[in-house]
Structure 1
Amino acid sequence: MAERPTTNWRRGVAAEAAELAAGTLDPDCACMVDLYPDELLSATDAVLDAFEAELPPLAGGDDEQVFAVVKRVVLALNAVNEAHDECAFETDEREQLCLYIDEAFTEQGVDVTALTARHGLGRHELTDQWRDW
């Protein structure tokens, strides 16, 4: 399965904590815990859990089924972002989440390029219709 962005974010939090513990990072320069608090990571993981649970039957699904799953995951991520004052997912996080969604579909046999092209979209526009983050 594609690596979740939250796995990467947790790795960054742990690495920064190790640097702080070792005394190799000035505490005034630490920011990972503020960028990725446990509440944000847990809420994002809950959304991605639900998304992943919907993936297996999609390989043979039609476009409407796939777009319905995209809509649900994006709207749920919008809610997470709203709960964090509209600043949970900045540019880097947005790119990681969109790539993860694309890769997860691709791993399940969904041809994202063909899917989006059939609807007059570029591959990287899969989430744009619903995405607020």
Structure 2
Amino acid sequence: MTERPTTSWRRGIAEEAEELAAGTLDPDCACMAGLFPEELLVATDAVLDTFEAELPVLAEADDAQVFAVVERVVLALNAVNATHGGCAFETDEREELCEYIDQAITEHGVDVVALTARHGLGRYQLTDTWRTW
């Protein structure tokens, strides 16, 4: 399965902590822990856990069912973002989350290009209808 963005974010936090401990990173340049507080990571992982639990049925799902799964994960991520003052997910994080959703459903048998085209959307507009982050 495609790697969750939170896994990458946690890895970045750990690498930064190692650099700080080794003295190879100026503390004024450290930002990962501030960008990704544990409560944000836990909340995001909870949303992604629920999303991943829904993925196995997508290969046999119709368009409405696939879009319903995408809508649920996006609305849940909207709630996480709102809980963190509307700034939990910056541009890079937004792109990572959208790519993760796209890849995860693709890995479970959904042709995202065909799905979005049938509904007059570009491939990278899969989450746009519901996304506020």
If the TM-score is normalised by the length of the shorter chain, which range does it land in?
A: over 0.9
Alpha-carbon deviations, 1:85-119, whole Å to 9, x = none? 00000100000000000000000010000000000
1:3-58 Cα deviation digits (max 9, x unpaired): 00000000100000000000111111111000001000000000000000000011
The yes-or-no answer on 1:98 pairing with 2:88 is: no
Q: Which residue of 1 aligns with 2:59?
A: 59
Measured in 1, the distance between the counterparts of 2:63 and 2:114 equals 10
Q: Name the CA distance, whole Å, in 2 between partners of 1:114 and 1:72.
A: 21
* 3-state secondary structure, aligned to 2:17: helix
Aligned to 1:81: 81
Matched, 1:9 2:1: no
Matched, 1:119 2:119: yes
Match of 1:70 in 2: 70
Question: Please, which runs of 5 or more residues in structure 2 have no aligned partner?
Answer: none
1:47 corresponds in structure 2 to 47
Between the aligned partners of 2:26 and 2:90, the Cα distance in structure 1 is: 24
Cα RMSD after superposing both structures = 0.4
Unaligned runs of 5+ in 1: none
Partners of 1:26 and 1:128 in 2: CA distance: 38
Alignment size in residue pairs = 133
1:31 match? 31
Q: Output the CA distance in 1 between the equivalents of 2:129 and 2:21.
A: 43
- Give the whole-Å Cα distance in 2 for the aligned partners of 1:84 and 1:17: 23
Once the two structures are superposed, what CA deviation does each residue of 1:59-86 show, in whole Å capped at 9, x if it has no partner? Answer: 0100000000000000000000000000
**Match for 2:61: what amino acid?**
G
TM-score when scaled to structure 1? Answer: 0.99
Q: Between the two proteins, what is the percent identity of the paired residues?
A: 77
